[in-house]
Chains A and B, each alone.
Chain A
Amino acid sequence: MTTTTTADGTTTIEALAEVPLIRLTREFAGTPAQLYRAHTDADLFARWTGPDGTEIKIDHWDARTGGSWRYVNVSGGQEHGFHGCFHTVREDRIVQTFTWEGMPDGVALETLLIEDLGNGRTRLVTESLVDSFETRDAILASGMEVGVNDGYARLDTMLAGGDV
């Protein structure tokens, strides 16, 4: 299944049917070297990665092939840890693992492709591959707090009522 929309921005999303993968594609007004820095420089990365209103505390950060990383996301007194390894760190390609410590056995393989579009523009493709379609769909449904629960509740009601 593939869904691509551009309602309020330029990010497109695809959820592939063949493999449990989420692909995000976005163009930026910046050079490939700048995109690379924004993903490998710990201070820069901490400035943009977390949701609004959260603070990112970098625990350790060794952005080179074979290195590893860990940071903690602090929001409203709650802390969420994330860690992983840098498998490949190259100007045009970063491959790393990603684990949310709330689900310590879960691990995603993330591939970032940094494509030069010329004129100081760059396309970023982020692929996140997980171990099952169930996990992928849970990730798609995550971070939606009230929204997803409302959605489930509505669907449950529809299913229970024989509406569907």
Chain B
Amino acid sequence: MPDPLSQVFAALADPTRRDMVARLCAGDATVGELAAPYDVSLQAVSKHLKVLEGAGLVTRGRDAQRRPVHLEAEVFDLMTKWIERYRREAEARYQRLDAVLADLNDDTTHLTDLTDLTDLTQQSQRGETA
């Protein structure tokens, strides 16, 4: 069995399933309600739901007639946290690159002082004059 994160990503790799998840953010829905916007059969929608269920992204209600589909936001949050963690590491790396670039700027004193330039831009945006 693939690991949980891969299952979540795979489940969300399909545009129809992403749409369904977006729809479920607004609230629980029946299979029929989920199928309504698409030109596909109920069976096809059920197949998509099975993939989302397998990844733990949605659950089905116990009401035998309607069995409403419910989004498990907690699983979604977990995935978002993983990606955010990766992004933060990249940001930390780029902040080290910022420092290297600042050193390069110090070495080349003929370059325009970026801080002053930023200040001037902000002043002109506020309608002030230097």
Residues in A lying within 8 Å of B, measured CB to CB:
1, 3, 5, 7-13, 15, 17, 22, 24, 26, 28-31, 34-35, 37-38, 44, 47-49, 51-52, 119-121, 124, 133-134, 136-144, 147-148, 151-152, 154-156, 158-159, 163-164
- Whether B2 and A134, one on each chain, are in contact in the complex, defined by CB atoms closer than 8 angstroms, is yes
Minimal beta-carbon separation of A115 from chain B (angstroms): 15
Give the 8 A-B CB pairs with smallest separation, nearest first.
A30-B101, A9-B91, A48-B96, A164-B56, A11-B91, A13-B87, A1-B12, A48-B97
B36 within 8 A of A: no
Count of chain A to chain B residue pairs whose CB atoms are closer than 8 Å in the complex: 143
- Whether A38 and B91, one on each chain, are in contact in the complex, defined by CB atoms closer than 8 angstroms, is no
- Whether B2 and A13, one on each chain, are in contact in the complex, defined by CB atoms closer than 8 angstroms, is no
User: Contact string, B15-40, partner A, CB cutoff 8 A, digits 1/0?
Assistant: 10010000000000000000000000
- Whether A51 and B89, one on each chain, are in contact in the complex, defined by CB atoms closer than 8 angstroms, is yes
A28 proximity list for chain B (CB < 8 A): 94, 97-98, 101
Kindly identify which residue among B5, B18, B102 contacts A29, using a CB–CB cutoff of 8 Å. Answer: B102
Residues in B lying within 8 Å of A, measured CB to CB:
2-6, 9-10, 12-15, 18, 56-57, 59, 72, 74-75, 78, 80-102, 104-105, 111-112, 114, 117
- Whether B112 and A38, one on each chain, are in contact in the complex, defined by CB atoms closer than 8 angstroms, is no
- Whether B93 and A156, one on each chain, are in contact in the complex, defined by CB atoms closer than 8 angstroms, is no
Minimal beta-carbon separation of B103 from chain A (angstroms): 9
- Whether A151 and B94, one on each chain, are in contact in the complex, defined by CB atoms closer than 8 angstroms, is no
Q: How far is the CA of A30 from the CA of B114 in the complex (A)?
A: 9
User: Can you list 10 A-B pairs with a CB-CB distance of less than 8 A?
Assistant: A13-B86, A24-B90, A28-B97, A38-B97, A49-B96, A136-B9, A138-B6, A144-B86, A164-B57, A164-B59
A147 proximity list for chain B (CB < 8 A): 81, 85
| Max count, chain B CB within 10 A of own CB: residue among A15, A30, A49, A138 | A30
A35 proximity list for chain B (CB < 8 A): 101
Q: How far is the CA of A9 from the CA of B78 in the complex (A)?
A: 21
A15 proximity list for chain B (CB < 8 A): 9, 83
